[in-house]
C-alpha cells in the first residue's frame, strides 16, 4: 500500500491496528508519520491518547504497554514508534502484533532497512497490519513526481524550469517539496513557475547550468561551453564535477542508443529512450552533430575524466581544468 492510500483511508476513518513503514525513502515514511501524529486525533484527544517513542531510547515493554491501553474520551489512541531500526529487541513486540487492540493505531517507522521477509515478525505484520515498503525514486521519475507536486499547489511549471529544479536538488524529495512550497509563496498571483523563478528563488542560473553545458557540447559550441565552465569555476557550488559528469554520461548514452533505432523520428525516440518528447530534438540534434564514433569517444572520455576527478592517473588538476580539457577533446 502506498503512503497516499494509507493517508486517504485514514481521512475516511478506515484504520488498521498496525502500520509498519520501512525502506530507503524516508520522505514517504515521514509523510505518513506526520499525518498520524497530527491529524488522526483532534488536539483535545491527543493530550490523552497520543504516545510517541523513539527507537534509540525506547524500551519494548513500555511501547507494548502503551499499545495495550484503552483510549480515554476518544474512539481510538495512536502510538508512534519512530526510528525503530535503532531499537534493541524489536522482535519482542511480536507478542502484541499477534494480538493487537483494535482501538489502538500503532505506527512504526523503520527507516533505511526492511524487516527480514522470512522472519516471524514479517509474517505477523502481513497478517495483522499494513506494510509500506519504500525505495529511492529513480532519477528519471523525479520530474514527473515534482510536476505532480507543483500541480498539487494549483500551479504549472515550464519544462526547462522543472528540469533545472530537479537537476539542482537531485534525489531529495523533502527538499524538492520545500523548494516548491517556497516558489508557491513567492509567485504571488501568478500560476506558472518559469526559469526566472528558479534562478531568483532557488539560485540556479538559467544560463549557466548543467543543461546549458550539455546543450553547448551537443551543439559543438565550444566557446559557450567554456564560458559555462568558467562560471562553474567561479561558483563551485553551482555545479560540482561529480554532478556534471553523470548528467553528461546519461545524455550521451541515450544519444548513443539512437544509432540502433531504424527510424529515429521524434515519437520513436521518445518511446525508446524513455524521455519527455519535449527534449527529443536535443538528442536527435546531438546525433547529427556527432557520428557513432564521436559519441563513443565522448562516453570513453567521460569515464576517463571521472576517474581523473577522483585522483586516478591525475596529479591534482582542478575540476575546471579537467572539464575544459575534456570538452575540447570531445569536440575535436
- Closest alpha carbon to 90 in 39, 129, 53, 144: 53
Contacts of 223 (CB under 8 A, 6+ apart): none
What is the C-alpha separation between 38 and 36, in angstroms, rounded?
6
- Note down pLDDT in tens along the chain; length 332 residues: 799 999 999 999 999 999 999 999 999 999 999 999 999 999 999 999 999 999 999 999 999 999 999 999 999 999 999 999 999 888 899 999 999 999 999 999 999 888 888 888 889 999 999 999 999 988 878 999 999 999 999 999 998 899 889 988 888 999 999 999 999 999 989 999 999 999 999 988 888 999 999 999 999 999 999 999 999 999 888 889 998 999 999 999 999 998 888 776 777 788 888 887 778 888 989 999 999 999 999 999 999 999 999 999 888 899 999 999 999 999 98
- If DSSP codes are grouped into helix, strand and coil, which group holds residue 192? strand
Supply the pLDDT for residue 170.
Answer: 84
The CA-based dihedral angle spanning residues 24, 30, 33, 34, taken in that order and rounded to the nearest 10 degrees = -170
Supply the pLDDT for residue 325.
Answer: 96
- If DSSP codes are grouped into helix, strand and coil, which group holds residue 105? strand
Burial class (CB in 10 A: 0-12, 13-18, 19+), 38: exposed
DSSP 90: G
How many CA atoms does the CB half-sphere of 284 hold within 13 Å?
A: 16
DSSP 311: T
Strands, E assignment, 24-103 = 50-54, 77-82
Nine-digit cell string for 236? 563551485
Residues in the chain: 332
Supply the pLDDT for residue 316.
Answer: 87
Contacts of 157 (CB under 8 A, 6+ apart): 146, 147, 150, 165, 192, 193, 194
First to last CA, the chain: 53
pTM > 0.85:
no
Strands, E assignment, the chain = 18-23, 50-54, 77-82, 104-111, 130-134, 156-157, 192-193
What is the C-alpha separation between 281 and 285, in angstroms, rounded?
6
Q: Which domains does the chain have, with CATH numbers?
A: 3-134 (3.40.50.300), 139-202 (1.10.8.60), 210-331 (1.20.272.10)
- Closest alpha carbon to 56 in 14, 120, 111: 111
Furthest-apart CA atoms within the chain: distance in Å: 77
- Closest alpha carbon to 146 in 112, 119, 170, 129: 170
Amino acid at each position: 500500500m502506498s503512503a497516499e492510500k494509507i493517508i486517504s483511508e485514514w481521512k475516511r476513518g478506515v484504520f488498521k491496528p498496525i502500520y509498519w513503514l520501512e525502506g530507503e525513502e524516508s520522505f514517504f515514511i515521514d509523510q505518513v508519520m506526520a499525518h498520524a501524529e497530527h491529524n488522526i486525533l483532534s488536539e483535545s484527544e491527543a493530550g490523552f491518547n497520543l504516545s510517541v517513542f523513539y527507537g534509540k531510547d525506547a524500551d519494548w515493554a513500555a511501547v507494548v504497554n502503551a499499545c495495550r491501553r484503552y483510549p480515554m474520551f476518544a474512539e481510538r489512541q495512536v502510538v508512534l514508534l519512530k526510528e525503530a531500526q535503532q531499537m534493541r529487541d524489536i522482535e519482542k513486540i511480536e507478542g502484541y502484533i499477534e494480538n493487537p487492540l483494535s482501538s489502538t493505531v500503532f505506527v512504526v517507522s523503520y527507516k533505511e532497512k526492511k524487516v527480514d521477509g522470512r522472519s516471524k515478525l514479517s509474517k505477523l505484520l502481513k497478517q495483522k497490519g499494513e506494510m509500506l515498503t519504500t525505495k529511492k525514486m529513480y532519477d528519471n521519475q523525479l520530474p514527473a513526481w515534482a510536476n505532480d507536486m507543483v500541480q498539487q499547489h494549483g500551479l504549472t511549471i515550464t519544462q526547462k524550469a522543472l528540469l533545472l529544479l530537479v537537476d539542482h536538488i537531485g534525489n531529495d524529495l523533502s527538499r524538492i517539496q520545500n523548494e516548491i512550497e517556497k516558489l508557491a509563496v513567492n509567485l504571488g498571483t501568478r500560476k506558472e513557475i518559469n526559469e526566472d523563478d528558479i534562478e531568483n528563488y532557488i539560485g540556479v542560473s538559467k544560463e549557466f547550468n548543467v543543461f546549458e553545458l550539455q546543450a553547448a557540447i551537443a551543439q559543438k559550441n565550444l566557446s559557450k561551453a567554456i564560458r559555462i565552465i568558467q562560471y562553474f569555476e567561479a561558483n563551485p557550488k553551482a555545479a560540482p564535477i561529480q554532478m556534471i559528469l553523470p548528467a553528461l554520461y546519461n545524455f550521451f548514452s541515450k544519444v548513443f542508443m539512437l544509432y540502433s533505432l531504424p527510424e529515429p523520428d521524434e515519437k520513436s525516440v521518445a518511446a525508446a529512450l524513455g524521455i519527455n518528447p519535449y527534449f527529443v530534438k536535443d538528442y536527435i540534434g546531438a546525433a547529427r552533430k556527432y557520428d557513432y564514433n564521436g559519441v563513443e569517444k565522448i562516453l570513453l572520455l567521460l569515464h576517463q575524466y571521472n576517474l581523473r576527478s577522483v585522483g586516478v592517473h591525475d596529479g591534482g588538476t582542478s575540476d575546471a581544468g579537467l572539464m575544459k580539457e575534456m570538452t575540447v577533446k570531445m569536440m575535436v
